[in-house]
Chain A
Amino acid sequence: MMHGDILIFSLFVPVLAGLAACCLPLSSRAALRVSAAAAGLECAVVAAVFVLKGHTSRIFACANNLFIDSLSLYHIGLVSLVFFMSAVYSVGYFSDDIDRGAFGPKRARRYTLLWNSFFAILIAVLCSNNMGILWICLEATTLVSALLILSDGRPASIEAMWKYLLLCSVGIAFAFVGTLLLSVAARAASFPPEESLLWTSLADKAGLLDGRIMCAAFVFALVGFGTKAGLAPMHSWLPDAHSQAPTPVSAVFSGVMLNCALYCIMRYLPLCESAMGWRLRAHAMLVLMGLLSIIVAAIFIPSQKNIKRLLAYHSVEHMGIIALGLGIGGLGTLAALYHTFNHTMSKTLAFFSAGRLGRQYKTYDMTRITGAIASNSLWGTAFFVSILALIGVAPFSVFMSEFMLVKASLDAGKFVGLAVFFFGSIVVFVSALRHAIDVSMGAKCSDVPPPRRSLPDVALVAVCVGALIVFGLFMPHWYYALLGDASSIVEGARILPPLSGGLFH
């Protein structure tokens, strides 16, 4: 076995071990802890692979069908981190259900099996070099995660699952047309059949591909993967699915699944632009979708009553911001990738706190949740802080990535886009802050039970808030280099503007 095979297969070992362990007759708590341990181990493996990879640009496995580069490793790191945090959170979140007997060993086994399968398939999406396999794995994530939404069997969650399943399956079907067109373009450019869907082969010789076919391929890929990423106007499944799934699943949906769908678009972007001679048509489509998502979020956020739906619309907004950054290109791509991490951390924290407050107040209706900080100092404060981070208050890192995005749009002369971004962000800022103040401030509710607090909860809040502040004020050199490498992959053969001497130096 080659060095590359060992490195890439090692990424699957902890998750598959976790999957196998969950087949054993474990108690509910043990099954949840095993999943958390597997995800923790996965984080350690990703860190080790990152160190071992060093300056190697690409590592291949499985006859070049699997590979990792900086872009995929960055996303794998995010997926592992969010799955680890959510798995740790699950232990406390389901604790009451386990005590009441509502989350028995059978249900826990089903939940953890689906959870670890979802995790493994997302890693497979990010390691795929074959665009056909990438599509198959992304569709498989829809199927597995749909069952996770259903795990409590309430009417609303059944409705959410049906919408999610049908809309995402139909949407992703369009992305398959994009994949087919990709292979047509490759064969027309005389690529050997075994290389016609390999991303690395296509990327190395993307200039040879037919521009018109690649433009059509990008449109289909954007609609297909954009549906899964929750970009407007294909976002209608997202608020339902996010609000009805159990909270750890919502956190994973919002924190990483949407990013993985955008990651697929990032893989198509350089191929299509190189084939079309960098006339930036694909970038313009991304700008359009990004702005539309920001506007849709700005329209719906003010009127939200359900706390998880509010966060779901924030996801639409932030996916729009990332798409906008990618569409601007250059420094915008770097800002988009930086924003991916920032959104993931703040949204994970927001869902964690909303889930705990919802459990404590026995409702997700924001008109009935007041005085959260007084009732639950840890999660109430965490919710308030996470909303501040999400709406882009300094010094949190979301502010820095949005600031970088503004600078990129000014440099690129995208003034109309910038104006729409500012308008949408201001509406979201004001309305989300109003929601956050209504929920967090005020007197303690008398009929709310006292909170259960544990050390892992404090650690989760500390890690998320710490990461948001630290990466907002200071960017370690290795992280800057990783972001630079990843964005140069998305930027393809274009010469990047100098990344050093930017905002942080």
Chain B
Amino acid sequence: MSMLIVVLVVSNFFLLGTSRLRALIRIAAFEGLVLGLFPFFTQAEGFSFHTVIIGAGGMLLKGVAIPLLLYRALRGVEAYREEKPRVGYTTSIAAGIAISVLAFWIGAALPRSPLFPNPQVVSLALCLAAVGLFLIIARTETISQIVGYLMLENGIYTFGISLSAQQSVLVEMGVLLDLLVGVFIMCIVIYHINRQFESINTEELEVLKE
């Protein structure tokens, strides 16, 4: 499992260092697929109905369905790169390193408790959520912000599977469905933003600025 955590932390740096929107979606899809493997390692019962649902459901949704939706949204839009990021890429990677160090330090400092059987997974959850929030703040293209939102959700999903307490399948499925519908609606907004503003950059959205 440590290998999977390393792979995810490294892919976070790729996410922070790339300006190409398609690459951003591909890395997010890869992370979604890898995260789907986690329940099989962290949950005590291994291959049960519950782990298959949250693992395979998560992989299908975050690794396939949502990236396809985002690709589709990009198809009709003339945007390939993040044009005007609020924070540069070198600074972003430096921020990523700081976030990772802090997250794993917090994980190591967590008191040993049966409530958090995998402190490393808690660190990973913190790391993913913080990178997600960083992307939402540091990038201006709507697609990058959606990927940031996905990373935040990934962090919370990871936090959920790091805990000893499982949620019911109904709640897990509901959360995944909300995420799918949320991204679907965000893609609809991208279409409208592109049509009205001839760009999908949020810097153009300044009609309501006070």
Q: Does A14 contact B (CB under 8 A)?
A: no
Contacts of A147 in B (CB 8 A): 185, 188
Which listed residue (A136, A165, A196) contacts B186, Cβ 8 A? A165
Contacts of A244 in B (CB 8 A): 208
Contact indicator A184/B165 (Cβ below 8 Å): yes
Contact indicator A170/B192 (Cβ below 8 Å): no
Stretch of A16-24, A148-156, A488-496 at the chain-chain interface: A148-156
Contacts of A184 in B (CB 8 A): 115, 163-165
Q: Does B17 contact A (CB under 8 A)?
A: no
Given contacts A133-B171, A143-B178, A186-B165, contact A160 B208 (CB under 8 A): yes
Contact indicator B193/A162 (Cβ below 8 Å): yes
A174-186 toward B: CB 8 Å interface, digit per residue (1/0)? 0011001001101
Given contacts A160-B208, A165-B185, contact A136 B149 (CB under 8 A): no
A155 to B197, CA, bound (A): 8
Counting chain B CB atoms within 10 Å of each CB, which of A159, A162, A170 scores highest?
A159
Given contacts A165-B186, A170-B136, A180-B163, contact A156 B174 (CB under 8 A): no
Q: Does B98 contact A (CB under 8 A)?
A: no
Contacts of B163 in A (CB 8 A): 180, 183-184
- Identity of the chain A residue whose Cβ is nearest the Cβ of B161 in the assembled complex: A180
Which listed residue (A136, A160, A166) contacts B171, Cβ 8 A? A136
A184 to B115, CA, bound (A): 7
Contact indicator B182/A155 (Cβ below 8 Å): no
Which listed residue (B159, B171, B189) contacts A158, Cβ 8 A? B189
Contact indicator B208/A177 (Cβ below 8 Å): no
Stretch of A187-195, A333-341, A343-351, A365-373 at the chain-chain interface: A187-195
Q: Chain A interface secondary structure, helix, strand, loop or mixed?
A: helix
Contact indicator A143/B168 (Cβ below 8 Å): no
CB distance from A402 to the nearest CB of B (A): 27
B124-168 toward A: CB 8 Å interface, digit per residue (1/0)? 000000000100100000100100010011001001100111111
A7 to B119, CA, bound (A): 46
- Identity of the chain B residue whose Cβ is nearest the Cβ of A137 in the assembled complex: B174
Contact indicator B185/A146 (Cβ below 8 Å): yes
Contact indicator A166/B185 (Cβ below 8 Å): no
Determine the interface band of chain B, counting residues with CB < 8 A from chain A.
Answer: 35 or more
Contact indicator B189/A161 (Cβ below 8 Å): yes
Q: Does B77 contact A (CB under 8 A)?
A: no
Contact indicator A196/B165 (Cβ below 8 Å): yes
Q: Does B44 contact A (CB under 8 A)?
A: no
Counting chain A CB atoms within 10 Å of each CB, which of B163, B164, B168 scores highest?
B168
Q: Does A173 contact B (CB under 8 A)?
A: yes
Q: Does B170 contact A (CB under 8 A)?
A: yes
Q: Does A130 contact B (CB under 8 A)?
A: yes
- Identity of the chain A residue whose Cβ is nearest the Cβ of B133 in the assembled complex: A170
Q: Does B1 contact A (CB under 8 A)?
A: no
Contact indicator A169/B182 (Cβ below 8 Å): yes
Contacts of A187 in B (CB 8 A): 115, 164-165
Q: Does A433 contact B (CB under 8 A)?
A: no
A197 to B115, CA, bound (A): 16
* B172-190 residues at the A interface, CB under 8 angstroms: 174-175, 177-178, 181-182, 185-186, 188-189
CB distance from B44 to the nearest CB of A (A): 13
Contact indicator A180/B159 (Cβ below 8 Å): yes
Contacts of A153 in B (CB 8 A): 192, 196
Contact indicator A170/B152 (Cβ below 8 Å): yes
A139 to B153, CA, bound (A): 13
A370 to B157, CA, bound (A): 53
Contact indicator A169/B149 (Cβ below 8 Å): yes
Which listed residue (A143, A154, A159, A160) contacts B185, Cβ 8 A? A143
* B89-136 residues at the A interface, CB under 8 angstroms: 114-115, 133, 136
CB distance from A237 to the nearest CB of B (A): 10
Q: Does B205 contact A (CB under 8 A)?
A: yes
Q: Does B3 contact A (CB under 8 A)?
A: no
Contacts of B136 in A (CB 8 A): 166, 170
Contacts of B177 in A (CB 8 A): 136
Q: Does B202 contact A (CB under 8 A)?
A: yes
Q: Does A213 contact B (CB under 8 A)?
A: yes
- Identity of the chain A residue whose Cβ is nearest the Cβ of B152 in the assembled complex: A173
A133 to B186, CA, bound (A): 22
Contacts of A142 in B (CB 8 A): 182
Contact indicator A155/B167 (Cβ below 8 Å): no
Counting chain B CB atoms within 10 Å of each CB, which of A155, A188, A194 scores highest?
A155
Contacts of A239 in B (CB 8 A): 208, 210
A239 to B149, CA, bound (A): 22
A300 to B114, CA, bound (A): 48
Q: Does A30 contact B (CB under 8 A)?
A: no
Given contacts A136-B174, A143-B181, A176-B175, contact A156 B168 (CB under 8 A): no
Contacts of A154 in B (CB 8 A): 196
Contact indicator A159/B149 (Cβ below 8 Å): no
Given contacts A162-B205, A170-B136, contact A155 B171 (CB under 8 A): no
- Identity of the chain A residue whose Cβ is nearest the Cβ of B148 in the assembled complex: A170
CB distance from B155 to the nearest CB of A (A): 9
CB distance from A270 to the nearest CB of B (A): 21
Contacts of A193 in B (CB 8 A): 165-166, 168
CB distance from B137 to the nearest CB of A (A): 10
A130 to B167, CA, bound (A): 11
A residues sitting closer than 8 Å to B (CB atoms) are 130, 132-133, 135-136, 139-140, 142-143, 146-147, 150, 153-156, 158-163, 165-166, 169-170, 173, 176-177, 180, 183-184, 186-188, 193-194, 196-197, 213, 239-240, 243-244, 300
Could you give 16 example pairs across A and B, Cβ below 8 Å? A132-B171, A132-B174, A135-B175, A136-B177, A143-B178, A146-B189, A150-B192, A158-B193, A158-B205, A160-B208, A176-B156, A177-B156, A183-B167, A187-B164, A193-B166, A239-B208
4 additional A-B residue pairs with CB within 8 Å, beyond A162-B189, A163-B205, A194-B168: A132-B170, A166-B145, A166-B186, A187-B164
* 10 closest Cβ pairs, A-B complex: A132-B171, A136-B174, A187-B165, A159-B205, A183-B165, A156-B207, A139-B178, A155-B196, A240-B208, A158-B192
